[in-house]
Chain A
Amino acid sequence: MAVFTHGNISIEIDEDGFIEDPSTWNEDVAKALATTEDVFELTPNHWKVIHYLRDYFAKYGIAPMIRQLCKETGFPLKEIYELFPSGPAKGACKVAGLAKPTGCV
């Protein structure tokens, strides 16, 4: 376990750079985590993805299917990659403060 610091933000992250405790997430944490993904400005489109992921995670305890994320947010996979260069699982989920997706995904 390591502590990630950015400006005033200081949170515990795991070996993959994912938040250790998803309940410690807030929007400032998202902005800080985004810098680790080379995303330096969170646009309304980023927030749309982040909020969808968080809502789904709160309800089901895991990340949604990638296809469902694309359909519900209206962004094709290509655009998700443009928003979060490491992709939906490793990039978007990380910024949204979800646990790292597990299994062969």
Chain B
Amino acid sequence: MIKDVKISSMSVKGEQLVELNQEEFFPLPHPYDNLKEQPGFKKLNDATKEKYQASLDGVMAVGKERPETKEMEEKVVKAFISGLKKLFSKENNWTFLMPLTLSMENCAKCQTCNLDCPVYEGSGFKEIYRPTYRSEILRRMYFKYVKNGNSFFNKFQNSDIEVNWELISRLFELSYRCTLCRRCAQSCPIGVDNALINHELRKIFSMELGWSPKELHEKGTMLQLEVGSTTGMNPLVIKDNMEFIDEDISEKAGIKVETKWDVEGADILLLHNAGEILAWPDNPAAFAIILDAAGISWTMSSELLGYDGVNYGLFYDDVQLARIAMKHLEIAKKLKVKKIVMGECGHESKALGVISDRIFNGAVPREAAMTLLEQIVFSGKIKFNPERNYFPVTLHDPCNLVRSMGIVEPQRRILRYLAPKFREMEPHGNRNYCCGGGSGFAIMSPYNFADWRIQIGGRKKFKQILEAFADCDPRPEFPKYVCAPCSNCKGQLRDLFNFYGAKEKSGLYYAGLVELIVNAMTDVNEKYIDFEAM
């Protein structure tokens, strides 16, 4: 183990930079303060460490195999430098060139952002997770290769860096230790965005070297472009599944649930994260109930990609992002809908609502569900009995929705009205903490990565949740509801709660916002939210 990790340590072959130790993570409140009651943190075996690049922190999210020859190593180095140069050219970086360049050149190294990073804090302040550590590596390469500063003066001013396979492969792992939550960007006094730098780093790996997590690429964007959905559902399966949901939930809710398909000229094309349909069917069904009760003309699309709003390209690759966004645009145009409404999914909302702006070029407006739901709930068209939600509720803010898009108030207004025991976490709104599953992590569990994302990535969030309910009866028979209007965040909360046994110990449950809305509707049978079945 290296004692004093520096930037230059990344290029040194062999020794692992950081050892993660559960005892060094900050303690969680009772009854989660006893490490012996928890499943532990899996260690990689020696054979795995031998075969793959695992010498960053003994964790693997992506697991890069060690090349066999020196030539192969050199090829990687060359490709990386070429990708780095492209990142700073107008022709090759149509999305983020300006903020990237500003972030590269203007960081004052004041380190204000460090303590705002839940990963850095959650790990027990490991040097490599400092938001500025990763950026500094890229910055040194930027001054060396992009600004061509091979002069003595540049080396003196910006510090040199040895670029080799060891550095690049460790950097690849390190680019998947940040959830892109952008809390650091918010705390920077001059607006340097270290999360963006990390995002751009992932782009070099994917777009120039073809290195990306299989969950996001092969089983993510590629699968979606091929069969229509990241879940593997083709158009026949999705219709079959929605038919099941319609029937099943009509019976439970005592109100007709009817998914609309391919209605030309509808006001709204509703685009869910397709994961909702497989894992949390109450959510899409609740949307159907609310939209019909409000008398809104809406439809879903059964065309390839038209029923999965996911766009993992947002996390790692601009070309994949654009391919998927263009399909979504095409489908909306073909159906002649007035606008697209994104379901309860943070990254989908950001990808379609903000980042795809130049692809859509004004053609079809997009709206995140929160604002539409606010309008509906306060329109007076639906009768509610908020007492039906008489259990403690707190709100988890999905980073993409809140910090990145500024959609903060609508979901709170709804909760203040419909959930009498609503309480905020601290901090919240655009100062929220990431669930730890951001930027695609929630669906990544290879090797021992799940232990990392649960115990380090999601540590702050779990503590916040427990503290939000500190005044409640702690017994599990008194359910406590974490409202998380995002599929990715829900997947992470499920893993967090399962890991710590939080349902059994404290009665912690999670689900979305629309379920709470429908649970309060007087036209719907009681107990739309059925804790017994969750």
Contacts and interface: CB of A to CB of B under 8 A. Distances in A.
Is chain B found bound to chain A in the same assembly? yes
Interface of A: 2, 14-16, 60-63, 65-68, 71, 76-78, 81, 86-87, 89-90, 100-105
A30 B473 CA distance: 41
Contacts, number: 89
Interface string B193-229: 0000000000000000000000100011001000001
Interface in B75-133: none
Contacts of A90: 445
Contact of B273 (A68, A81, A101, A104): A104
B146 to A, nearest CB: 34
**In the A-B complex, the 4 residue pairs with the closest CB atoms:** A104-B275, A103-B230, A15-B446, A103-B231
Contacts of B534: 77
Interface stretch (B240-248, B381-389, B391-399, B475-483): B240-248
A81 B498 CA distance: 10
Contact of B244 (A2, A65, A87): A65
Interface residues of B, number: 41
A104 B281 contact: no
B72 interface: no
B532 A67 contact: no
Nearest to A89: B279
A91 B19 CA distance: 29
B220 A67 contact: no
Nearest to B52: A15
B533 interface: yes
Interface string B349-374: 00000000000000000000000000
A87 B498 CA distance: 9
A102 B445 contact: no
A102 B273 CA distance: 12
Given A68-B241, A105-B278, A76 B491 contact: no
Given A76-B533, A90-B445, A102-B232, 5 more contacts: A102-B220, A102-B231, A103-B443, A104-B443, A105-B275
B430 interface: no
14 contacts: A61-B232, A87-B494, A101-B232, A101-B278, A102-B220, A102-B223, A102-B231, A103-B219, A103-B230, A103-B231, A103-B308, A104-B230, A104-B279, A104-B487
B321 interface: no
B472 interface: no
A67 B281 contact: yes
B310 interface: yes
Most buried by B among A66, A71, A87, A103: A103
A65 B281 contact: yes
Contacts of B447: 15
Nearest to B449: A15
B488 interface: yes
A103 B310 contact: yes
Given A87-B498, A102-B223, A103-B310, A66 B233 contact: no
B514 to A, nearest CB: 16
Contacts of B277: 65
A67 B248 contact: yes
A1 to B, nearest CB: 10
